[in-house]
Structure 1
C-alpha cells in the first residue's frame, strides 16, 4: 500500500502445528491442496508489523479473510522473504502459524502479500531484489506449502512498476509456480495489486499484465488501489471506484479477448483506503461510499473486495489523513468491516440484500425538517423481511424510518426533524437493515445550518476577576501578577500530587478545525484540549510565551480547554486564551 510504516514488535505464535491444521513445515516439499478461496471474498489488509494478532482482530471485526501485508527481503539482493523484511519473522509456522490455524477454524483464510510501497522503494520487493527466477519461484512455493494457502498477492507500486527486469522475473516465477502446482494437483492463484487512475490502470501497471501474458503467467485477479490519485482534484471515491473498474474491465477485455464479461468482472479486485487517504481530505472514503461500492461490487460480480487496512477501521483520529491506526473520520470501530463482510460467499449464493439512502445527503436549517427514501434491493437469492432502525442523530435532531419493516425490494422513508437548538454541522445518519441473512447499512449525511456557537472562550483574559466558568484543582486562582495583559491572569497550582489543571468546556462547530491560543509562564506550562478532540503543547519560560494548539472537533463539537503544570514543578500562569 502507498503507506509509510515502521517495523515494530514481532508477533511470534508459539505453536508447532501438525499437517492436520493445514500448515506444513517449511522445506518439506509437500504440496497439500489448500481449500480454494470463496468465489467472491472480502479480505482487508492486515498490517503485520504492528505486533497484533490477526486472529484476534479477525474475530473482533468480523473479517474472516485477511490479506497479510507484507513479505519482502531483509536486504536488497537477498532471495529470502521475511514478514516485513524482519529476519526474526521468517516464513515458518512459528510466525503467524497459530493465528492462521485459528482463522481457518473460524471459517476464514489468509492471502500473503509480497511487496508494498516500502519494499518497492527500497529494492527489497522479492523480484526486484533477487535476480534468480528459480529462487523467486522457490520462495513463492515455500510460502504456499508452509501456510497451505491458495492465493499469493503481489503489491507492485512506484519503483517496482519501472523495473522491467524485476517485472519479467516475477512473471516468469509465477509461471514456474503454476506449472509446479499443476504437477502436485494444487490450485494456486496470483493477484496483482496495482495503483490506478480514475479511468483504469496507467500504462506502467498495464505493462505488468502485458508481460504476464507474454510469459504465459496466469493472473487470476487484478486488484486496483482506488485511492491516492494525486491529481489535485476533489473526489467522489465511490464514483471513481466504478469508473476505475470499468476502465480496467475495458483493458482486460483487450488483453484477454476470449474471456466472457462475467469472467472479466470476476477477475477484478478493489482495495479502498478507509477515511482520509495519504493525499488528504479531498480523497475521503466515507461509510456512504462503502455502501455504494458494496452494492456495485455485488451487482458486477467482482472477485475481491478489500481495504487498507483493518487496523484503520476506527474513528480514533478525526481529521487526520493516511494514519496506519485510524481512518481520520468519525466512525465506530469496525463500521467499514461490517459493511463489506457480507460480500464473502461460496459458489452457492444465499439470500442477500442492500440498503441505500436516496438522496444520500441533504441540508436543513436548524428548526426545519427533511426526508429521504430508504431503498432496499435483493442482491442475491430471494426477498426476505428486513427490519430497519436509525442511529447517529445528534442532539436536537430526531430521525425515524417508516415503516420499520419491509420486504427486500421495497422502500421506506427516513424522516428527519431538527430543533432550533441543533448545532450546525454534518452528521452521518445510519439506517441499519437486519434480516435472517445478516445486516447492511445505508448512510444519509445530514448537514444542519444556522447560527453556530461562538468560537470565543468565556473569560479568556480572566478580566472578570473571577474564575467562572473555569474550574481548577486545589490552589487554582485568578491573580493580579504576573499578567500578560490587563489586570488578571489564571494560576494553575501544580504540586507533588497534582498538575493543578484549570479547565472549561466549550461547544464549537462539529467536525471543524480550530486553533487554541494562549500566553503562559512557568515550568512545564501545558495548554490543550481534551474530550471531543485531543491536542496539547507546552513551554518552559520565566517570561510570557505564546502557545498555539491546532485541533479538529468531533461530532459533538464540544471540547475541554485546559491549562496545567507538571508534578512538583510549581505554579504556572496563563492569560489571553482564545479560539479561532
Structure 2
C-alpha cells in the first residue's frame, strides 16, 4: 500500500527533528513495552561493576532494577553511554540479554540518566547536549533498544542549578511523550531528586515547575531520602515519612487538579541502606526498612527503591559508605527481601528470624580470673535456622570465647571471658553476634577487670581492640583503613554543629610534667588535654602526622585526653595515643 501524503510529511518532519532513533538495531518494536506495576520495588544496580544484573536479581529476589547510569563520555556530546564508557553503548549487545532475562523472571529494567558524577561533570545528557531534538532522540533510542516503559532522570548537584539544561530536558520529555503517543507507546518519566526531611528544596521544586511550564508529564517524583548533610542526628524512617508528606503538599501546588491519593501515587522513595555518605548519624537500619515498607504500602506510593543492590550485605560492619557493602551488620539481601513484595502490593515475605541475648550482661573479675554468661537464642518468626555465633573484638589481655560456633535458633552457648594476669584494669566490652541465612542480631557483654589503671596509661590508645571503649565517642567509629600502625584507627566525624570529639579520662601523678602524643590525618585535626591540665595542638595534613602536647598535671591527678575535628569538616583519623 502506498503511503499517504500526510504520513510522508509526518515522517519527514520527525526525521528533520532527529526524533526517529538512528542507532543500529534500535528500530521501534511492533508491540509497546509492558507497563510497570502500579507499585514497584526497583533498587539501583551499579552498572559499572561488570556484574550480571539478572544473576543478582535472581539471587536477591529483586525482579525490577533501576540501571545506573547513562551519561555522555564528554561534555558537549549528545550520545549517552552506560557510565560514559565508549565500550558500553546503548545497544542490544550491552544489557539486552540481561534485561530480557529480567522480563522472563517477571521483572523489568528502568534505565536511569544522570547520577552524581554526570551531574557534577556536565555529562548528564541535557547538560551536555544543547539540541533538544537530539536529547529526545537519545531518550527514544533507549526506549526502543531495550523496549522499556520508564526512564529515570537522576538530577542533583550542579545539574539542579543549570536552568538551560533543566529546560532542555523537560522539552525533550514532552517531545518523547508525543512521539510515544504517535507510536502507540506509553512511556513514564521519573525524576530522582535530593530532598530535605520536609520536602524538596527550592532547586528540586524548580525542576518540576519547569516541567509544568513545558507541559511535560512527570509520572513519579523519586526522593533521595538520605545525605541530608545538615549536621543533625536522623531517624531515617521518620524523615522519609515527613519528606514524602512535604512532597505531596508541594505536588498539590504544581498539579492542583490531582487528588491527594493521585499525588501519593506519584511519590517514589530511594533510601541509602546502611550508612550513607554523610556518616553514622544518617544510618538506615533493618528496622527502618520494615517501617518504611509498611508506610509505603499504606500510603500507596508508586516506587520503593534503595542505593544500591550491590550494597545489600554486611561485608563491612562498622564502616562508612561504600559501593559494595552497607556498613552495618546484616545478612546478604536482607533489605531486598523486606522490600521485594512491594511490587505486588502485598505483605512482606515471611522472614525466618531469631532473637539473641546474653545473661548476665556484665561482670567483674580480677586479673588472672574469668567469668561466664549464657548466650540464648529463640525463634522470632518463621522456622528455626542455624545461627553462627562470634564474640569480639579481640582485646589486649582479655579474651572472649564461645562453647559453640553455631546453634539452631532456640539453642544456647556459653560465653567465657578471661583476663590475663597482666591485663590492664578497666572496662572491656564484647559483642556477641549471631548470623543466620536471613538475619543478624547482636548483644553486648561488659566485664570490669579490677585494680588500678597504671598512671599515665592511655587505654586502647592504638584502637587495636577494634572497639571504642573506654573512649567516649558518640557518632565516631573504629575503622580498618587508614591506620597508622596495626590494623585499626579512630574515625572522628564532625558535623555542622559539633566537632565529633572522642575522649577518655587518664590518671597521672599530680604536679608531674607529661607529653601527650598521637598520630592524626585530615583537616583541622586536634588533640589535647583538659580537666586537670590544659593544652592542645592541631594540624591539617593529608597523611599521618604526629602531634605533641606538653602539660603538667594538676592536683587531682586526672586529665581528659581528647581528639576532635572542626565543625562541618570531613572526617579525621587518629591513632597511637601515648602519654610519657
Q: Same fold (TM over 0.5)?
A: yes
Q: Indicate the residue corresponding to 2:361 in structure 1.
A: 365
Call closer, same or farther: CA 1:251–1:362 in 2, change over 3 Å.
farther
**1:424 CA displacement:** 3.6
Query: Structure 2 matches for 1:527-538, cutoff 5 A?
Result: none
**1:373 CA displacement:** 13
Query: Structure 2 matches for 1:156-195, cutoff 5 A?
Result: 156-195=155-194
Call closer, same or farther: CA 1:56–1:337 in 2, change over 3 Å.
same
Task: Give TM-score, length-normalised by structure 1.
Answer: 0.64
SS in 2 for 1:79: coil
Q: 1:550 aligns with which of 488, 497, 519?
A: 488
Call closer, same or farther: CA 1:511–1:355 in 2, change over 3 Å.
farther
Query: Structure 2 matches for 1:505-516, cutoff 5 A?
Result: 508=465
Query: Structure 2 matches for 1:365-514, cutoff 5 A?
Result: 365-366=361-362, 424=429, 446-451=443-448, 508=465
- Structure 1 segments, 4+ long, off by >4 Å, are 349-357, 359-364, 367-376, 386-398, 414-423, 425-432, 443-450, 506-514, 532-537, 577-580
SS in 2 for 1:282: coil
* Mapped partners of 2:133, 2:278: distance in 1: 38
Quick check: 1:237 aligned with 2:175?
A: no
Quick check: 1:53 aligned with 2:52?
A: yes
SS in 2 for 1:69: strand
* Mapped partners of 2:197, 2:358: distance in 1: 26
* Mapped partners of 1:533, 1:207: distance in 2: 40
Q: Indicate the residue corresponding to 2:518 in structure 1.
A: none
Deviation sequence 1:433-474 (CA, Å, 0-9, x none): xxxxxx9x7x877555553899x9xxxxxxxxxxxxxxxxxx
**1:260 CA displacement:** 2.1
Cα contact 2:359–2:374 (8 A) shared by 1 = no
Cα contact 1:69–1:84 (8 A) shared by 2 = yes
* Mapped partners of 2:157, 2:212: distance in 1: 21
Cα contact 2:337–2:349 (8 A) shared by 1 = no
Q: Indicate the residue corresponding to 1:203 in structure 2.
A: 202
Q: Indicate the residue corresponding to 2:423 in structure 1.
A: none
Q: Indicate the residue corresponding to 1:279 in structure 2.
A: 278
Deviation sequence 1:400-425 (CA, Å, 0-9, x none): xxxx9xxxxxxxxx999997859845
SS in 1 for 2:87: coil
Q: Greater shift after overlay, 198-207 or 387-396?
A: 387-396
Call closer, same or farther: CA 1:78–1:374 in 2, change over 3 Å.
same
Call closer, same or farther: CA 1:534–1:121 in 2, change over 3 Å.
closer
Cα contact 1:453–1:507 (8 A) shared by 2 = no
Q: Indicate the residue corresponding to 2:309 in structure 1.
A: 310
* Mapped partners of 1:397, 1:258: distance in 2: 64
Call closer, same or farther: CA 1:163–1:535 in 2, change over 3 Å.
closer
Call closer, same or farther: CA 1:373–1:103 in 2, change over 3 Å.
same
Cα contact 1:25–1:146 (8 A) shared by 2 = no
Structure 1: unaligned runs, 5 residues or longer: 1-23, 377-385, 399-403, 405-413, 433-438, 457-505, 515-531, 538-545, 554-576
Cα contact 2:71–2:82 (8 A) shared by 1 = yes
Task: Give TM-score, length-normalised by structure 2.
Answer: 0.64
SS in 2 for 1:451: strand
Cα contact 2:357–2:375 (8 A) shared by 1 = no
* Mapped partners of 2:60, 2:313: distance in 1: 10
Call closer, same or farther: CA 1:225–1:366 in 2, change over 3 Å.
same
Work out the number of aligned pairs and report it: 425
Quick check: 1:115 aligned with 2:118?
A: no
Cα contact 1:68–1:111 (8 A) shared by 2 = yes
Call closer, same or farther: CA 1:536–1:180 in 2, change over 3 Å.
closer
* Mapped partners of 2:243, 2:65: distance in 1: 23
**1:390 CA displacement:** 9.6
Query: Structure 2 matches for 1:54-133, cutoff 5 A?
Result: 54-133=53-132
* Mapped partners of 1:113, 1:354: distance in 2: 31
Call closer, same or farther: CA 1:394–1:579 in 2, change over 3 Å.
farther
Cα contact 1:36–1:150 (8 A) shared by 2 = yes
**1:33 CA displacement:** 0.5
**1:103 CA displacement:** 1.2
**1:333 CA displacement:** 1.8
* Mapped partners of 1:452, 1:31: distance in 2: 76
